[in-house]
Chains A and B, each alone.
Chain A
Amino acid sequence: SAVISQKPSRDICQRGTSLTIQCQVDSQVTMMFWYRQQPGQSLTLIATANQGSEATYESGFVIDKFPISRPNLTFSTLTVSNMSPEDSSIYLCSATAGTGGLGEQFFGPGTRLTVL
């Protein structure tokens, strides 16, 4: 199994600013992902964080808005840029250790972001 921590756990930010969320895994994992969970909604995949290369974004999400880094096998960051109130959400990091990325995913506790 893998234990995932995220920082910060919550933040309140002003419109137009950026916030970087950190995700740390206690062991090396094959795949890392970033999800968004808006109030009362399910999880929506933002992107796959690729180690040593550019992240792979899902439809509706772009690198300029959500730049992602993954410098090694245990750490990733997600930046929410030029924030607006519509970005208020919970952002979750996940990881999977299975072969080819298959199998159970471990999730961090989430970062609750409020944009004023």
Chain B
Amino acid sequence: SQKIEQNSEALNIQEGKTATLTCNYTNYSPAYLQWYRQDPGRGPVFLLLIRENEKEKRKERLKVTFDTTLKQSLFHITASQPADSATYLCALDRLYNQGGKLIFGQGTELSVKP
């Protein structure tokens, strides 16, 4: 079955630096991969979607890469701010390109210190 792994250890960085989060997956070739942000006590909020034929996608200070050979996605936040502190989840389509079902990684907690 599909398996997704994210860094389980919290990532602590200084304000202004670039945060890089990793998402690795096995036993699957997804049609797309998504990144979400989750704050304590709240539901996840969609950030970016990248398709299997896309290498990179950007949105403001966010950048996502997708390497289907390595089966890995990297999520970057440039010029990080304390407000970026949250848990970041990656998710894959559970059934190839069908129906919107997602399988989530366990998330990586990011803490940006001023």
Contacts and interface: CB of A to CB of B under 8 A. Distances in A.
A107 B42 CA distance: 9
Nearest to A40: B106
Interface stretch (A12-20, A67-75, A78-86, A96-104): A96-104
Nearest to A32: B100
B43 A94 contact: yes
Contact of A43 (B32, B89, B99): B89
Interface in A1-49: 4, 30-31, 33, 41-45, 48
Interface stretch (B14-22, B66-74, B77-85, B90-98): B90-98
B53 to A, nearest CB: 14
B44 A107 contact: yes
A92 B32 CA distance: 22
B99 A106 contact: no
Interface residues of B, number: 23
Contacts of A42: 89, 104-107
B62 interface: no
Contacts of B97: 102
B10 interface: no
A103 B49 contact: yes
Contacts of B29: none
A110 B101 contact: no
Contacts of A89: none
Contact of B94 (A45, A103, A112): A45
B103 interface: yes
Interface of A: 4, 30-31, 33, 41-45, 48, 58, 92, 94, 96, 98, 100-110, 112
9 contacts: A31-B99, A42-B107, A45-B103, A92-B44, A98-B100, A102-B93, A104-B34, A105-B100, A112-B41
